[in-house]
Amino acid sequence: MSGADAAPAGSVPVGRGTARWLPSIFVLPLCIALALAFLWPLIDGTINSFHPFTRAGIDRESWTLANYAKLWDSFYAGILMRTIRVSLIVTLLTAALAYPVALYIVRLSPRVQAIYLLIYMTPWLVNVVVKAFGWTLLLGNRGVINNVLQGLGITDSPLRLMLNETGIVIGLTHGHFIFVLLPLWAALGGLDPNLRWAAANLGARAWDIFRRVTLPLTLPALVAGLIINFTMNMTAFATPALLGGARARVVSFLAYETNLVDLNWPLGSAMAVAMLAISLLLVWLSQRAAASGSRRVMFEGAAR
């Protein structure tokens, strides 16, 4: 809703004619609700992360940074590295798969485009757990793929396609595809087709047009989408839990165990705070990337 700060021309400036308190009637209920149900829990959790964890529970009397220090232990760091690796693979894979799709659908009629977008949006709109179950049917030891492979005599024993990193990669690529496709589709659709013709007219072949015109002009949108995609991969829970399992633990799964099995809330909170900090940083980066894109779009507009 970034465009909303530019108030519509006719909106009433508060202070003359209207009572000063009038807007608060409308915005205050949501303010209070979010302060109670959202802000307070987050602050509360952050505070917990600075208390030590003892046998008796959280020691609210003393303060410590030990929980954060513990995140650097090799066990935790190892799981963090796996999470980053898996997330990055998913993001790069998504980029490679989404770009051709976006290039293709942007040339279709608006009606067909809408249908395809809806299809690509379905994984996001369908319950994560249901999706994971669907993949289990495909990827499991007795799933469709292994069934077919063994039936055709290509493999003797089932390929291990899930309950490892492969399963996570497949599940997340599927689930978060739209977050790269959508901004890319919008950027490609907004591109002046004459730019491509101008390049061709100046002697550029298809590959040169893509490399020197289309790609650079859609890069900001692509990067913004990829960062969002990466952030979501990093913090995904149900998909890696069901398709990766305990053998391919990721950070969110670890945080689950820490909070609900070990009941070590201070450490769990420290994990949460770290994850929040990282994802906020990434979102900020993505918005910067997108903003550099809108500047480009402005350039284009001015050139018309």
Options 164, 283, 285, 288; binder of another protein; rule CB under 8 A: 283
Q: Is 208 in the site for another protein (CB under 8 A)?
A: yes
User: Measured from the CB of residue 215, what is the shortest distance to another protein in angstroms?
Assistant: 10
Q: Is 261 in the site for another protein (CB under 8 A)?
A: no
User: Left if phi > 0, otherwise alpha if psi is -120 to 50, otherwise beta: which for 193?
Assistant: alpha
Options 16, 17, 30, 110; binder of another protein; rule CB under 8 A: 30
**Footprint (CB under 8 A) of another protein, residues 217-246:** 217, 231-232, 234-235, 237-238, 241-242
User: Measured from the CB of residue 173, what is the shortest distance to another protein in angstroms?
Assistant: 9
User: Measured from the CB of residue 221, what is the shortest distance to another protein in angstroms?
Assistant: 11
The H or E element that residue 57 is part of is strand 57-58
Burial annotation 59-70 (CB, 10 A radius, 16+ → b, else e): eeeeeeeebbeb
- The span of 68-76, 78-86, 160-168, 207-215 binding another protein (CB under 8 A) equals 207-215
Q: Is 259 in the site for another protein (CB under 8 A)?
A: yes
**DSSP label of 53:** E
Task: Output 92 or 200, the one with its CB closest to another protein.
Answer: 200
Q: Is 126 in the site for another protein (CB under 8 A)?
A: yes
Task: Output 78 or 294, the one with its CB closest to another protein.
Answer: 294
225 CB burial (10 A radius; 0-12, 13-18, 19+):
buried
Options 16, 17, 37, 72; binder of another protein; rule CB under 8 A: 37
Q: Is 188 in the site for another protein (CB under 8 A)?
A: no
Burial annotation 256-285 (CB, 10 A radius, 16+ → b, else e): bebbeeeebbbbbbbbbbbbeebbeebeeb
Under 8 Å between Cβ of 140 and 162: yes
